A and B are shown apart, each in its own frame.
Chain A
Amino acid sequence: MTLLTETTSNRSTVNQILAIIGTTNHKTIGLLYLVFSILNFLIAGLFALLIRIELFLPGPTIVSSSTYAELFSLHGTAMIFLVAMPMAAGFANYYIPTLIGAKDLYWPRWNNAAFFLLIPAGLFIYLSFLDVGWTAYPPLSTIYTSSAVELWVAGIILIGVSSMAGGLNFVLTILTMRKPGLGWRSLDLFTWSIFITAIIQIIANPILTTGVVLLELDRLIIANTASTQGIFFASVSGSSPVLWQHIFWAYSHPAVYIMVLPAMGITSYLISMFAHDGDPKHVFGYTSMVIALGVIAFLGTFVWGHHLFTVGLGSQVNIFFMAGTFIIAVPSGIKTFNWLFTLYGGRIKFETPMLFALGFLFGFTLGGITGVFLNVVPLDLILHDTVFVVGHFHLIAIGGIVSTFFGILYYLYPEATGKMYNKKWANLHFWFWTVGSMMTFGAIEMAGLNGFPRRYFDYRPDAFWIMIWNQIATIGAILMAIGVLIMAINLIQSYLKGELAGKNPFNFGYQTDRNTA
């Protein structure tokens, strides 16, 4: 990319590579994050495609059942820890310092280390060949698996350190390095969302780190002593495997918000940019947007129990978690209506980034509403561990979060490379992606309503509706894959032969500081 090569022109190739590896420039590190997460997105996406193709027909078709278990486990872990989080960190690295008028992040060298920690972490996660699901529930992950859970644990710890360093860096940058006169009330919503996300990262990360350390100690005790069940998550010693479920979801539920809050911030940014001619701060209900972000983050740390409704925690506890989760729907709804009112009366430019931001609204609303269904305890007792849950989560994550990440990727592309992407192909990518994701995950939800359990390798050939919905989902997944392929070809082709983007590739009338900078 131009930015990478511009930094280091007039030097030998080795020195150029060393300069990129040792860089402390936030933009270069941001691009490294993006390249890393896009590569992982392709790998983990390929896993997902294999899962879908396997489910196209009943009976084992292309992979064995043990490979299938590895595929869905690695798909989940990689998509969350190696795609969604680094991608948000990449965009934040690229944009936050320029948005708040800082030269760089607070600790540029930590920033570099935070990125490079992801490389051994990613390697370990893939090499672990995890086959116990991304949740790694004991005793499955302590006794009954032959996969290298140690490596997965090491990967998770390294990612924890990385996102801790990244989170501290962003909090300090936004707290202290704003340009003079840029008060809290005039920050844009993307910066706000990254600030709040960083705080959740700092608060939630130690929980998972503690949990995986306990899990690993259990495995070490089993490997090195006479104990056959471990001690922290084993019921023979008087402890209980449910403890791990609490610890895991006390982190992993906030982790959902670590992924979705930056996407919300990016959506606010894109919608106000493209509906109001390049003004990033023209949003409806600014104060309520910020408060909603804060409330979602705050409540999100207290509702992990809605993943454990079927465990048998007792009805008082379930009602507490159910009520907490319902309340989260309120700030989410406020945000959705504010986005709609931001669009209302604007002069909307239907460029590709804007299309993807609108795709976020669509996916987020659908996924959010199915989430409200799942939160009703009696309904959850029926739908728990069916693919309905998978469909709900993916509607938000793929239809929403990844959509808006694609949007900001297309927005960033002309700025980072100096070339314009091919708009027709980019719009085609949008349509393939959105139609494909709605089709896939809508169909998966229907399969779940028909009782198809999650993580199942096979279904009976006489289960007609389950087969039909699975086949529709697979066709949708292939559409999504075609969309991603179009994106990859388009971005590479435009980088090599595209037309120059110029200083204002989207012809905004309103020139902010950062447009002209």
Chain B
Amino acid sequence: MANTNETIVTHKTSLWPPFLAITAGSLGIALTFLSSGQFMLGIAILFSYLILLILFIVQETSTQKVKAEEERPYPRHFFMWIFLASEVLFFGLLIGVSFIIRLRSTAWADLAQLLIELFGFNFQKSGRIPPVWPNASDVLNIPLTAVNTFILILSSVTMVKAVESIEKDYKQGLRNFLFFTAILGAVFLVIQLFEYYNLFTSGFTPDSNLFGATFYLQTGFHGAHVFLGIIMVFFIALKAHKGGYSKLNYSGVEAVGLYWHFVDLVWIMLFTIIYLI
């Protein structure tokens, strides 16, 4: 059947996507270095790829014209919901894994016994060594993290205010609140790194026991998400500064806002499960 050329003419070529996609191969090289003991080299490769990615985002935000609203119909930030659905599964699995390991450990022996009696699900199989699961309050600095949680919740509030401002076409408010959000997120990350530093110096590392492994895994991935969120907020703030958003066109802010609230929500769950329960 005949190929219509009219669709072909409208397509623009761009070498950025294939270039970034192929250089994503640096991930494999980095992992090889990491597991052959050259830790810093692996990290360096990963970070140089991240810088390349940020350069791409800068180029995209500064050159690509925003398409007219009718070309992108109703679910303007719907993709973020679908993406978050997959993120829910990602964190759900991480939390689930640590939950099941914890059921096997000595910490929750009563609960595990109850599960056997009620449903017949036996997590603590005989002949298997139950994992060491220290009391969270013995190892972690809970008051510090409580403050940190408050900071992250505050950043969610400023994000809501940012979306509210642009709904009323108050552009100065959008810029200010996005700025506050990014700052609060950064403060959260700095406090988390400080906490990690303290824990490492006191000898609590990922390979000390399964509690340590799952702790660093969950909080570490959450931290990576916050880091990504800060980059996203930074770029929409950049665009807002150039006057890229208006009352009619602010779906980018809404999408980033959804992501930010999601990360916040995940933290509240992690805080409850790891630190409090």
Contact = CB atoms under 8 A, between A and B. Distances in A.
B24 to A, nearest CB: 6
A150 B38 CA distance: 14
Interface in B1-54: 1-5, 7-8, 10-18, 20-22, 24-25, 27-28, 31-32, 34-37, 39
Contacts of A177: 73
Interface stretch (B76-84, B240-248, B269-277): B76-84
A373 B7 CA distance: 50
Chain A residues touching B, range: 35 or more
A146 interface: no
Contacts of B83: 168, 202
Interface in A154-175: 154-155, 157-158, 161-162, 164, 168, 171-172, 175
B128 to A, nearest CB: 7
Interface stretch (A1-9, A267-275, A324-332, A435-443): A1-9
Given A119-B22, A158-B27, A247-B93, A6 B5 contact: yes
B94 to A, nearest CB: 6
Contacts of A247: 93, 97
Nearest to B9: A7
B100 interface: yes
A503 B1 contact: yes
Given A150-B35, A503-B2, A238 B73 contact: no
A187 interface: no
B82 A232 contact: no
A176 B12 contact: no
Nearest to A178: B73
B13 A23 contact: yes
Given A116-B21, A123-B25, A223-B35, A236 B129 contact: yes
Contacts of B217: 214, 217
Contacts of A238: 101, 104-105, 128-132, 210
A24 interface: yes
Interface string B54-94: 00000000000000000011110011001101110110011
B1 A243 contact: no
Contacts of A225: 207
A202 B82 contact: yes
A151 B28 contact: yes
B28 A124 contact: yes
A123 B213 CA distance: 31
A442 B25 CA distance: 40
B86 to A, nearest CB: 5
A515 interface: yes
A504 interface: yes
Contact of A175 (B15, B24, B78, B129): B78
- Of B1, B2, B74, B132, chain A has the most CB atoms within 10 Å of the CB of B1
Contact of B4 (A115, A155, A517): A517
Interface stretch (A14-22, A78-86, A285-293): A14-22
Given A150-B31, A221-B207, A517-B4, A120 B25 contact: yes
B7 A224 contact: no
Contact of B31 (A7, A153, A203, A236): A153
B27 A112 contact: no
A289 to B, nearest CB: 24
Interface string B96-131: 010011001100000000000001111000001111
A108 interface: yes
Contacts of B22: 116, 119-120
Contact of B21 (A106, A113, A207, A232): A113
Chain B residues touching A, range: 35 or more
Nearest to B130: A238
Given A220-B35, A232-B213, A115 B128 contact: no
Contacts of A25: 7-8, 11
B75 A150 contact: no
A22 B86 contact: no
A109 B11 contact: no
B85 A203 contact: yes
B206 A221 contact: yes
B172 interface: no
A164 B86 CA distance: 9
B24 A120 contact: yes
A168 B79 contact: yes
B17 A22 contact: yes
Chain A to chain B: the 7 pairs with minimum beta-carbon distance, closest first: A238-B131, A120-B25, A154-B28, A116-B21, A113-B17, A22-B13, A206-B90
14 contacts: A23-B13, A25-B7, A25-B8, A112-B21, A123-B25, A150-B28, A158-B25, A164-B86, A171-B82, A202-B85, A210-B97, A224-B35, A237-B210, A505-B1
Interface of B: 1-5, 7-8, 10-18, 20-22, 24-25, 27-28, 31-32, 34-37, 39, 72-75, 78-79, 82-83, 85-87, 89-90, 93-94, 97, 100-101, 104-105, 119-122, 128-132, 206-207, 209-210, 213, 217
Interface of A: 2-3, 6-7, 18-19, 21-25, 27, 103-104, 106, 108-110, 112-117, 119-121, 123-124, 148, 150-151, 153-155, 157-158, 161-162, 164, 168, 171-172, 175-177, 202-207, 209-211, 214, 216-217, 219-221, 223-227, 231-232, 235-240, 243, 247, 314, 316-317, 414-415, 418, 503-505, 514-517
Given A151-B31, A202-B83, A503-B1, 13 more contacts: A22-B16, A22-B17, A25-B8, A112-B18, A150-B31, A217-B217, A227-B207, A236-B129, A237-B209, A243-B97, A316-B120, A415-B1, A516-B1
